[in-house]
Structure 1
Amino acid sequence: MSFPCAGRSILRAITATNSRCSIYVWGDKLEITDITRESDDAVQEMVVTMTASADEVNTYIDKAFKELAKNEIPGFRKGKAPREVIEREAGGHDMVFARIAEDIVNGEAPALLDDADVLFIGDPQFNLEKIPAENQPFTFTVSGPVPPEGTLSSYDEVSIEMPPNEATEEEIQTQIDELLSVYYNYDVIDDPDYEVEDGDYVTVRMTIMNDGAVIPGLNDVERMLSIGGGSMPESFDEHVIGSKIGYTLDFDFDAKGQEERPELGDGNLHANVEVKQIRKRVLPELDEEFLAKIGVTSLDDLHDQMKMTINMQKDRELPKLLEQKVVDALIERFEGEVPEYYVDFMRDNVSRELMQRLQKEGTGLQDWMLKNNVEAEKMQEEVNQESIDRAKRDMALEALFKEKGWEVTDEDIARELSGVDDAEAQIAELKEAHRMADLRKMCRQSMAARWLAKTADITVVE
């Protein structure tokens, strides 16, 4: 006999701590007597054996018959019918005691599984060899797929490269250059002999055709193009470079690899172009007038403000970059392939998160794909790769935690919830929902990532 999990959302992905564990005992109620990991070529499963004491079974039997006795039974006052009559009216002995078995399973198992850090992918099966009996212990098993255990080629510290913690002169100058680019002007080129160069801005009148048909919106239109700046494909710009004001150009080109210009396609394109005007972008001088305009008193003041801005940005972003790099380095040590069933599980999570985000944004999937020029096939590839990456990250961090023999303490849980407004209320809510194992999994992976970051051999590269 097998029962699903009665629709409860109590089982979530988590890696069990071992292939077989010792007995867990909870007083004189239900206890876990064995946890075994079973694996074939496709799926890893966990089989958990649970036993309810005879006293606990009797408690559930008494409770069940008290509830059933409240029903109207012909010939008897409420609560006075003998058990054999109550059983007959409720569908028979086996039916009544099957319900009692389900009550025991749903009443006790979720909390025990959560406490033992055993959570399944999807709903597990509760397997009963026989129904409960009065004055006897009741044993059943819970089984289902769990995240696979991964192995790493090494569990030592990782080596990574990181940018400097402090702003460099090159970074400061780049920031200043970016600031200057905001305040640019255009100088019109009047020289009739001037030839268009890469980086120029050229106003043209053009018509673009694809396989002999004029592309909608590109029939005898006037546009200013940034040559080499991505306004048009590189194969287009190559024909414009070297031209002069008044030139009329007639040439073939292609737009292969130009995903940001889907209207051009990647077929046989032809352009008719008249060069109308050439302009150069001119950046302002770093003189007193410009410095006053942007609110600084001197070049040194500008330098110091840029340095402060960069350092503040590094303070925010480098810790995240460090964690990303050390975890990526750990994942490079991942051995083998992620089982397909776990990729499928992660893919469901990725897809659900995408749909939830789009729902918050008030848009649908098809509208989002059209707006962002995303093809269905490419999107599927990206979702699949993200699913594989998440699975490897999960398995790699769990493998490191297990290898190091660490344990999650109350202090680790408090640290994980340090950014939560009411941590105690959050813990109470998770306990009530039998989801503390989810939190402990987050703690395990955070601990593994922090250890990697703390012990990493870091080479600073500017």
Structure 2
Amino acid sequence: MDTKVEALEGSQKKLTVTVDAEEIDKRIKKTYKDFASRYNFPGFRKGKAPRPVIDSMLGKEAVRAQVTDDVVNGLYPIAMDDNDLISIAQPDFDLSEELVTEHAPFTFTVTVKCRPEFELDSYDQVAVKLPSVEATDAEIDEQIDELRNYYYTFEDAADDAAIEENGFAEISLAATDDKGENIETISTDSRLYELGSGLFPEAFDAALEGLKKGDTTTVKMDVSDSLMGRGIEGDVTIDVEVKQVKTKVLPELNDEWAKETAGFEGGVEELRTRIADSIKQQKEQMMPRLRENEALYALQKRVLGEAPEELCSSEEQNLLQNFFQQIQQSGLTFDAYLAQMGMTPADFKDDVKKQAKDVTLQDLALDAWARHFDIQVSDEEISEEFKKSGVDDPAKLEKQWRENGQIASLRAGMKRTKAIDAIVADLAVEELKPGEKLQSVEDEEAEEKAAEAEAPKADEAPAEAAAEGEKLTKTALNKLKVAELREKAEGMGIATDGLKKAELVDAILAAE
């Protein structure tokens, strides 16, 4: 088999494969034998039917068609592998010679869209900023606050105190379904409820925000996507009474509490020392992965090109498949995971898309690095990789991969591993200053700020927002605080006296 590769526009390549006449004759002869053994031909024993009989019974071109199909489908992946080509879209075959011919070579061409070969704007040493492995006072204080959170208590707030965002209150709930029947799983005479806990939809929390002791409200909504509404279909009506607004109180940090409650005989000093040691140990364990992650984020910013949609979509599917396998193994449901992470399905989707784009760009950056520094992977190294897989017969598995044209992808992955290992080994590291964040986090926040800059401001008048193609939504309004809603409503000429948050939202939407 001879192959020739021609570069076309963009990342497309034209692969021409020529199979010599001797190989074609050998395949034709074998296929006739296979047909003779596979089918029953009247008057002939199995496997003994001559060619003219086979051609007469199955069609003159049956064998040639089968050989052509075997040659194209069998040799295309091997030819791609031999030329280190990896297709990212469906190949386009051009069979100028429709069928193989005995005693003659056979040529076919295929146009493939391959992984683009982008360059980097620099191949200099990669520099990153990383935190010190030593625990900072702020980190120790944060850990201590988390520990104190395990021992919190609640106190009654003043009677005129209002429920704040993410606040607490003791409430009673009377829930009925769309038929007016009581829903026992939701109804209760008394429940200590935390706004933002995800037990109910955001609209429920929005309706409670701003209420005081003795206030009542009625909320009608679909609760099927919330933790408390599992298995409940249709709209649910919930009558709520605020029995008491609560204030969360953390224990005072002193030697007495550290000794008697937290169990540190040396008091606060021992508590801080033990936490500092624990933080340092955790940082040391995560530092290798953190070095690699930050190096990849820094490297992807050097890519001169945009991540192809085909590669991003493929990576997105890989991430989703791995994610759902992991939560299934952990016993979590998708809804429970979202509630635990404080995410909506839309947030999750956006996060996966961003991860897929990041991974794609990082892979393309590593490909460029490997090409620039001529990083190679030998056949011996590939064979060794199969031995490391732990299968009973690594040589057999390698043979299957080679026949299926899967070696190019494996080689590319091994080159990337070598590239990132070399980059991390030569990494220039600067210690983060107090309050400074990791580069990857700064990238995410910069994107969020850019998106916010393009969107209408929260205090923008509805008419101005509409003029820029934006429209107020109930979800967006529910994210505002009561004071912000009152200001917006008053700016629209709405009387706000006595209106609760949910009523303010409805009034603004109606006025718009």
Return the match for 2:84 from 106, 117, 120: 117
Deviation at 1:323, TM superposition (A): 1.3
Which of 96, 100, 103 is matched with 1:135 structurally? 103
Residue 98 of structure 1 corresponds to 65
Q: Any idea what SS the aligned residue of 1:63 has?
A: helix
Say if 2:24 and 2:102, in contact at 8 Å, map to a contact too.
yes
Quick one: distance in 2 between partners of 1:375 and 1:185? 28
Contact 1:46 1:143 in 2 (8 A): yes
Checking the alignment, whether the CA contact within 8 Å between 1:189 and 1:280 is kept in structure 2 is no
Instruction: Give the counterpart of 1:160 among 122, 125, 128.
Output: 128
> Which residue in 2 is equivalent to 1:444?
415
Partner residue of 1:18?
Answer: none
Is the contact made by 1:124 and 1:145 (CA closer than 8 Å) also made in structure 2? Answer: yes
In 1, distance between residues paired with 2:163 and 2:46? Answer: 98
The answer to whether 1:317 aligns with 2:317 is no
Look up the match of 2:12. 45
Report if aligned partners of 1:175, 1:306 keep a CA contact under 8 Å in 2.
Answer: yes
CA distance in 1, matches of 2:274, 2:386: 35
Q: Which amino acid aligns with 1:39?
A: E
Provide the C-alpha distance between the structure 1 equivalents of 2:54 and 2:366, rounded to a whole number of angstroms: 54
Superposition deviation, residue 349 in structure 1: 3.6
**What is the aligned partner in structure 2 of residue 65 from structure 1?**
32
Separation (CA, whole Å) in 1 of partners of 2:215 and 2:336: 38
Corresponding position of 1:178: 146
CA distance in 2, matches of 1:174, 1:400: 40
Q: Which runs of 5+ in 1 are unaligned?
A: 1-29, 209-215, 241-246, 252-258, 264-269
* Preserved contact between residue 414 and residue 423 of structure 1 (Cα < 8 Å): no
Contact 1:206-1:218 at 8 Å conserved across structures: no
Measure, in 2, the Cα distance between the counterparts of 1:51 and 1:202: 75
Amino acid at match of 1:65: Y
Compute the displacement of 1:156 (Å).
Answer: 2.1
Q: Report the CA distance shift for 1:158/1:415 in structure 2 as closer, same or farther (over 3 A).
A: farther
**Alpha-carbon distance between aligned partners in 1 of 2:390 and 2:53, rounded to the nearest angstrom:** 52
Tell me the equivalent position of 1:19. none
The equivalent of 2:251 in structure 1 is: 282
Partners of 1:100 and 1:132 within 8 A in 2: yes
Structure 2 vs 1, CA of residues 329 and 197 (structure 1 numbering), >3 Å: closer, same or farther? same
AA at the equivalent of 2:411: R
What are the equivalent positions in structure 2 for 1:20-419 lying under 5 Å apart?
A: 30-31=1-2, 33-40=3-10, 44-70=11-37, 71-74=39-42, 81-92=49-60, 94-121=61-88, 123-130=90-97, 131-182=99-150, 184-186=151-153, 204=170, 222=190, 224=192, 275=244, 280-283=249-252, 285-287=254-256, 290=259, 294=263, 302-354=271-323, 356=325, 377-409=346-378
In the alignment, the residues of structure 2 paired with residue 341 and residue 347 of structure 1 have an alpha-carbon distance, to the nearest angstrom, of 10
Q: Distance in 1 between matches of 2:416 and 2:250?
A: 50
Determine which structure has the larger helix proportion and give its number: 2
| 1:457 alignment counterpart | 428
Q: Is the 8 A contact 1:228 1:234 kept in 2?
A: no
Deviations along 1:264-285, whole A, 9 cap, x unmatched? xxxxxx9975656666322353
Distance 2:327 2:197 in 1: 31
Q: Is the 8 A contact 2:163 2:211 kept in 1?
A: no
CA offsets, 1:321-366, max 9 Å, x none? Answer: 2111111111122334333333343344445445555665678878
Tell me how far apart the structure 1 counterparts of residues 267 and 347 of structure 2 sit (CA, whole Å): 50
C-alpha change, 1:81 and 1:110, in structure 2 (3 Å) is: same
Distance 1:124 1:143 in 2: 6
Give me the TM-score of the superposition, normalised by structure 2.
0.61
Relative contact order, CA 8 A, sep 6+: which one is greater? Answer: 1
Q: Distance in 2 between matches of 1:325 and 1:395?
A: 16
The alignment yields a C-alpha RMSD, in angstroms, of 5.0
Letter of the structure 1 residue corresponding to residue 51 of structure 2: R
Q: By how many angstroms is 1:99 displaced?
A: 0.9
Letter in 1 for 2:147: L
Residue 338 of structure 1 contacts residue 391 of structure 1 at CA under 8 Å; is this kept in 2?
yes
Equivalent residue of 1:282, what SS?
coil
Aligned length: 405
